[in-house]
Amino acid sequence: MKKFSDLTEEDKIRFSKFAKTFVNEFINVDDKNYIKICRNPNNCHRTNMRVDKDYLINTLNYDWKKIGNQSNRLFNISVDILEDLFEFSIDESYQLLFGFIYPEIYDRFYKPLEPDYINESENRTNKYKLNKKEIEYLISLYEDSGIFDRDYALEELQSLVSYLNGLNNSLKLYRIICADSEEDIDDINIGSHYTLNRRNLVKNHYDRGSIQSHCYGDRVFLLTVESTKSNIDVMETLSNNILFPIEEEITLKNKGKGSVILSIEEL
């Protein structure tokens, strides 16, 4: 068998069909809602993998890749079946399991349990949740940026959501603006676009001169602003980080209303 990266679309279709057949024939759920694997009807073995929402949320965290770490019994018996009954090599068996059979197990038994939204947090206590429509929109932004590997894009998106969920409730943010004087700075509608990284903001937008093309005033100021996590516009923040990752942007709702200017420094 070829390496996964070398498989053609026809190969992938063929092995996906094989995975469906394999799961149909050898894998099922017992009366206690545990996945079991059977070499034949009289030789079945229960795994430690439950098929319920709690297991999907707290153990798998909506990620089929975690199936490979859950049950040695599922892995070992599956490999035995692939080698003994279908004469695949050990390397081919690994590839079939991790590339096709585990995803099929997830699609068959766990995907129907997914709610309308996906939250990356294992404990489900964080507020940032993406529904499937939002996820598809954000994946399309990765494609606009030249990233067409869906699994990679989903992993990157999950990392971004995890990053936002890990932020403290109280945020110190930085923003560069132009004005003729400090008195001209609006301290109510402070603005939407910020970053947590003061050093990179000054380096990328002031030292390199990129702010000049967006300046509407004779002087350049660095604002230090205090806001809260609840003021973050999550979709805009995610979108901007996908399209302009170097900027590390935090986008606030309502032009920053409710935020407080802590200091103003002329650059």
Count of Cβ atoms closer than 10 Å to residue 261 Cβ = 17
- Average pLDDT over the chain, rounded to an integer: 83
Q: Do 143 and 77 have their domain in common? A: no
* pLDDT above 50 (res 2): no
Structure tokens at 81: 């079946």
Q: Do 99 and 123 have their domain in common? A: no
pLDDT computed for residue 126 by the predictor: 43
> What would the mean pLDDT of 60-85 be, rounded to a whole number?
88
Q: How many domains does the chain have?
A: 3
The residue to which tokens 């890990």 are assigned:
166
For Cα atoms 173, 174, 177, give the angle at the middle one, nearest 5 degrees. 140
Using the Cα atoms of residue 210, residue 264, residue 190 and residue 161 in order, give the sign of their dihedral. Answer: positive
Share of the chain above pLDDT 90, in %: 32
Q: Do 38 and 108 have their domain in common? A: yes
pLDDT computed for residue 34 by the predictor: 94
- pTM, entire model: 0.52
* pLDDT above 50 (res 246): yes
* pLDDT above 80 (res 210): no
Q: Do 83 and 106 have their domain in common? A: yes
Q: Do 19 and 63 have their domain in common? A: yes
* pLDDT above 50 (res 124): no
Q: Do 217 and 144 have their domain in common? A: no
- Give dist(CA 209, CA 202) in Å, integer: 10
* Final residue of a structural domain among 86, 114, 142: 114
Q: How confident is the model at residue 230 (pLDDT cuts 50, 70, 90)?
A: confident
Q: How confident is the model at residue 236 (pLDDT cuts 50, 70, 90)?
A: very high
**Per-residue CA distances from 161 to 75, 156, 194, 234 (Å):** 31, 9, 17, 9
Q: Do 31 and 98 have their domain in common? A: yes
Q: Do 127 and 227 have their domain in common? A: no
* Final residue of a structural domain among 80, 97, 114: 114
> Which residue segment(s) compose the domain that 43 sits in?
4-114
* Final residue of a structural domain among 79, 96, 114: 114
Q: Do 244 and 187 have their domain in common? A: yes
SS (H, E, C) 159-228: HHHHHHHCCCCEEEEEEEEEECCHHHCCCCCCCCEEECCHHHHHHHHHHCCHHHHHCCCCEEEEEEEEEE
pLDDT computed for residue 116 by the predictor: 54
pLDDT computed for residue 125 by the predictor: 39
Q: Do 239 and 214 have their domain in common? A: yes
* pLDDT above 70 (res 37): yes
DSSP symbol at 127: S
> What would the mean pLDDT of 132-148 be, rounded to a whole number?
88
